[in-house]
Chain A
Amino acid sequence: MTRPPTTLHQDATHESALGHVTGHARYVDDLPHPPGLLHGVIVRSPVARGTLLGVDVEDAVRLPGVVRVLTASDVPGDNHVGPIVHDEPVLADGELWWNGQPVALVLGTTREAARRGAEAVSVRHEPLTPVLTMEEAERRDQWLITPHVIRRGDVDAALASAHLVIQGEVHTPGQDHFYLETHASLAVPGEAGTMDLASSTQHPTEIQRMVAHVLGIPDAAVTCRVPRMGGGFGGKESQATTPACLAALGAWLTQRPVKVWLERGEDMRITGKRHPFRGRYRAGFDAEGRLLGFDAEVVADGGATVDLTGPIVDRALFHLDNAYVLPACRLVGKAVRTNLPSNTAFRGFGGPQGVAVIEDAMERAAFQLGLDPVEIRRRNYYADTAGRDITPYGQQVRDVRIERMTETLLATSDLAAWRAEVAAFNATSAHTKRGIGFVPVKFGISFTNSLLNQAGALLLVYADGSVQLNHGGTEMGQGLHTKMIAVCAEVLGVRPSDVRVMATSTEKVPNTSATAASSGSDLNGQAVREACEAVKARMVPVACELLGAERVRFAGGRCVDADRPDHAVAFSKVASDCWVRQISLSSTGFYRTPGIAYDRPGGQGTPFFYYAYGAALAEVEVSAWTGEYRIRRADLLHDVGDSLVPSIDRGQVEGAFVQGVGWLTTEDVLYGPDGACVTRGPSTYKIPAVGDVPADLRVNLERSPQAGTIGGSKAVGEPPFLLGFSVVHALRAAVAAFGTREPELALPATPEAVLFAIDRQRA
């Protein structure tokens, strides 16, 4: 059986797999209940906008099992939280901003008692007319962030000289994270004014800071631990704060442990989604399909509070070029405030919304110029040649892999034969057509707020040679811990099974960044390596002395004389000798990404350490009777560098692709006229199921090493999400086959959207 890797760059199973499959892996809601536990249930705002006149709790507190009801006035510190700007009330105060906003917390001895209590609380309010659409918000000048502008060359002149100018508008939809584990936090009050939390968060440091801020105590008085998450996808980057702060507030005021766990319906009503974006553009091409100028503006619907909207819009702008050189451009990013749950991080973090805009231009230009959609894209690729390697924001792109990868994909997929098959099918089929779609991807790696690109680790070697590894990253299924074990085992030369990764905790590594931006293994991997190297450096002299050697290697759980490979001593023996000789066997490690910085007002800089690439081809079949469709085949080639654990990366590529397909096809977040989320469970919100995955799925990894990263690997969490665009392009091609005009397909491309597109095509 495959097992945790014995060396780096080898396939391995997930480090917790046995726990997952036996049901022994524990998540926050599974932790044993501490004595005296209270359950917290949130009372939500019933309106999208209003004035809060009061919260009547008398009926609730009279109910059996209800212990206390908390409102904003109970907050001892600052009631306002937020990852960048503290503009979000933990409990509504004065104003109601979105339907579902937390207004009060009912604490009960059972969840059922607390839920009944929550039903009995009445939120007295005066409703106001909410702003539920981006257009309305724009009309009212409800801007959420300062606009971000990136300029290069004279775009107006470029467009004026173009052979073809396409004007377009692209609406990309929201998306619910639909992590299988909903938000959960358990707060346990400690001695002397301290608070310990277990939280399903991607960002334990944020929880620590926000809880301290809300309770009015120092950060050091709070700890936050993350056993693991049942999926995060960005939804637990900033938005775990509310459940955690509420649990901590309850625990602080009652001095009893409090758990806040959200039912699926609550989770989907209270929390924000992927930002819907509207992109408007003018794209100028020459007759050969080369982009001359691109003038684009994107506007995001931020929802009620700022949250992470600023950097999300930034990343959208940084990806308006996708893999293409823009000789002249004007790129503008804005965001509006609406009375909807505050939208937040979601895999890709604005990148997919940016790419959607230029991909629309590419699809349309290919059609209008009569060019092969693969060919027109290749003509515009970045390359390692002068003039073709500078992004609109002035970063030099190095080691450009996209052309090479496209060539590989065309060859391995035998695209010519594949296309011939599809054409033959379409020639004889009246109501069912097939189409092939292509997309290339270039994705920038690093937090765009450069200071966040730092990470820490803490290694503890015990006298028996066993190892505890702590690092700042959280495990949400992405296999980060598996990779960190591999790095640690490689450096120390021990068996992976001797390395225990500890639950992420602010007690072990302080001031961490969120596990986000695909950066988990890039940043933490380097910190882990540094910690391991530091301890190893102290062990080496002891090993040399024990072996009478000049130089030693650490491998296979032993320290080996580099000159006499048959002379070796067990790692555990060296560890115990270090202890006897009073040598420290623990060390921290720290890493910060070098050489990145960005000047937002100037729109210039080097926000990314490097780029990851991908390319995909997909085939769909669509029905003109109903607009239903099926993905028949997808060929994915994704750039993971010299992968730390290739089997884990393959899982990320496949999972991200399917999630990207879901975003663009069946998933549709809908709000009612009262601003309440109506798609609040899997019965109404449809993420891909097993049949939505192509039966014929061919995945390959591009594995040439990346300079300057841990083990030559590349980040993989987010970039393959964008490969899902291949399916939209395939749907467009299939729709186009029903007629001669340029296809128009709305997103998400539900069967309904596809049927309407086909009907337009045939009209």
Chain B
Amino acid sequence: MAVSFTVDGQVVRVEGLHPTTTLLRWLRESGRVGTKEGCAEGDCGACTVVVAHDGRWRAVNSCLIPLPSLHGRAVLTVEGLARGDRAHPVQEAMVEALGSQCGYCTPGFVMTLFEGAHRTDLDQPWKLDDQLCGNLCRCTGYRPIRDALQQVAGTCPDDGLAAPATDEDALREDGEGGAWFAPTRVSEATAWLAEHPEARVIAGATDLGLDITQKHARFASLLSVDRLAELRGIEVAAGMATIGAATTLVELEDWSAEGLPVLHRMLRFFGARQIKHRATIGGNLCNASPIGDLAPVVLALGGAMELVSASGARTVSADDFFVAYRRTALQPGELLARVRLPIPPAATKLGAYKVSRRRELDISAVSAAFQVRVAEDAVTEARLAYGGMAATPIRARAAEALLVGRPWTEETVRAAADSLRESFQPLTDHRASAEYRHRVARNLLLGFFAETREQPFIALPDRPTATVQEVG
């Protein structure tokens, strides 16, 4: 394998490594030990670096990035910020604020702050937390780091470190250890998949990367969708949003704030900045985890998946997409190309909920998304979708049936909510007990009723205490 990219302004060419070698491994083994490993699972942020993409530096977890996805791109690490003896303004801010104690989390925080310094939209205190929540610190208690970010956020220092243009050329590597193909056209991708039915599709690698770092999987062939421009971006026409499968969650978040607020509400507490820069909607749905957060929203909205393969395209409704535990309707050789989400009319009651032990950077114990339409005092449509309650993301069909045709009142909603206990047999695991999941599933529906009594949808406040909002 030969991959070339720049690190801290220096062009490097890497040969002979397996394509699943992560950026963090390579950095540290090549002597760039300033960047630290705290977990190798994307959950601590110690390994944070920034990668130039679409003209901006983006904070990412280097522990989850396979080297080939950096081909033609530029990486900046904590060791590349200082100019001679002069520390970078974000580094000075951290020193000044006493933002480091043991210093092990610090390189990662510095890079998260670096991105923050170059963002112009961190204009409210809660957004500082949102920027920082992908980095853990066990020593400081965060207050000084938050102060440091507040000081540098949006200052866009004239640091001579503007994000360079990147090269999105195709990359094809049939190395000894494994093959990596990152085409620029979908037709090339599907043709290659047809020839390599054993290949795994890889997008942001925030799920697949865990197989590499935690289970030490070495995939023989990988098809990367990260250079398929056709699969990126969002188009809205005739009440339908069509979202490319390789669209990142940051892109989705930026668009959905106005374009589809119910989706935005779910994305507000999803992973962290570093994860959302890499994670894609396609990866989240194809992973088909019962606790993938976007699936309930897609189910509640009545979305559909456009699948492509060498033999053509087909559309599968979200209801038919999640077939079993971590299994989808995708057939070998097929790729998820786009997700179609109908944009509900203005009066539709909508809600999206995520409950986890820790609010930020945590996987759901229970998640839910609801769509209810009411006309002339009766429910005409109810789509109640849950995560964490079964082996797949799932709709609560029995509860929906108890609502449709009935008035939208506390009494009917209570009956529907009470029926959930019969519908689901959730697990007890390290995230929550089955009993907690039952109670929360019920309360989320009751809470949704309370929230949407006066208005069809409410956005989350700046620092919500809980996923359900107190109204009145």
List residues of chain A with CB under 8 Å of any chain B CB: 1-2, 13-14, 16-27, 29-30, 32, 115, 177-182, 228-233, 263-265, 429-432, 476-479, 621-630, 647-648, 650-651, 654-659, 666, 668, 670, 678-679, 681-684, 686-693, 695, 697, 750-752, 755-756, 759
Task: Tell me the chain B residues, 357-380 only, with Cβ under 8 Å from chain A.
Answer: 357-363, 365
Task: Report if B214 contacts A (CB, 8 A).
Answer: yes
Contact A21 B43 (CB under 8 A): no
Give the distance in Å from the alpha carbon of A679 to the alpha carbon of B39 in the complex: 13
Nearest Cβ on chain B to A354's Cβ, whole angstroms: 23
Q: Encode contact with A along B6-31: 1 for CB under 8 Å, 0 otherwise.
A: 00000000000000000000000001
Known: A23-B34, A432-B470, A691-B360. A13 touches B95 (CB 8 A): yes
Contact B38 A666 (CB under 8 A): no
Nearest Cβ on chain A to B23's Cβ, whole angstroms: 15
Contact B363 A689 (CB under 8 A): no
Give the distance in Å from the alpha carbon of A478 to the alpha carbon of B463 in the complex: 31
Contact B43 A681 (CB under 8 A): yes
Task: Tell me the chain B residues, 423-451 only, with Cβ under 8 Å from chain A.
Answer: 430-433, 436, 439-440, 443-444, 446-447, 450
Nearest Cβ on chain A to B362's Cβ, whole angstroms: 6
Contact B141 A658 (CB under 8 A): yes
By a CB distance below 8 angstroms, the chain B residues around A686 are 357-358, 362
Give the distance in Å from the alpha carbon of A335 to the alpha carbon of B44 in the complex: 34
Contact B359 A23 (CB under 8 A): no
Contact B360 A689 (CB under 8 A): yes
Q: Which of B31, B107, B357 contacts A666 (CB 8 A)?
A: B357
List residues of chain B with CB under 8 Å of any chain A CB: 31, 33-36, 38-44, 46, 77-79, 81-82, 87, 91-92, 94-96, 98-107, 110, 125, 129, 132-133, 135-146, 214, 216, 355, 357-363, 365, 430-433, 436, 439-440, 443-444, 446-447, 450, 463-468, 470
By a CB distance below 8 angstroms, the chain B residues around A432 are 465-466, 470
Known: A180-B104, A477-B101, A625-B444. A755 touches B359 (CB 8 A): no
Q: Which of B79, B87, B443 contacts A626 (CB 8 A)?
A: B443
Contact B468 A625 (CB under 8 A): yes
**A interface SS class:** loop
Give the distance in Å from the alpha carbon of A20 to the alpha carbon of B145 in the complex: 13
Instruction: Sample 16 A-B pairs with CB under 8 A, ordered by A number.
Output: A17-B98, A23-B34, A26-B33, A229-B102, A230-B103, A264-B38, A477-B100, A477-B103, A625-B440, A651-B140, A655-B139, A679-B430, A686-B362, A687-B136, A692-B359, A755-B440
Known: A629-B465, A648-B98. A666 touches B41 (CB 8 A): no
Select from chain B the residue with minimum beta-carbon distance to A21: B91
Give the distance in Å from the alpha carbon of A182 to the alpha carbon of B37 in the complex: 9
Select from chain A the residue with minimum beta-carbon distance to B269: A691
Contact B144 A20 (CB under 8 A): no
Give the distance in Å from the alpha carbon of A19 to the alpha carbon of B432 in the complex: 41
Contact B143 A697 (CB under 8 A): yes
Nearest Cβ on chain A to B105's Cβ, whole angstroms: 5
Nearest Cβ on chain A to B37's Cβ, whole angstroms: 8
Contact B129 A691 (CB under 8 A): yes
Contact A689 B358 (CB under 8 A): yes
Contact A654 B357 (CB under 8 A): no
By a CB distance below 8 angstroms, the chain B residues around A650 are 98
Contact A264 B39 (CB under 8 A): yes
By a CB distance below 8 angstroms, the chain A residues around B146 are 690, 693
Give the distance in Å from the alpha carbon of A647 to the alpha carbon of B147 in the complex: 14
Give the distance in Å from the alpha carbon of A22 to the alpha carbon of B103 in the complex: 10
Known: A179-B138, A264-B41, A655-B140. A689 touches B94 (CB 8 A): no
Which interface residue of B95, B136, B145, B361 has the most chain A CB atoms within 10 A? B95
Nearest Cβ on chain B to A413's Cβ, whole angstroms: 17
Select from chain A the residue with minimum beta-carbon distance to B134: A689
By a CB distance below 8 angstroms, the chain A residues around B144 are 651, 654
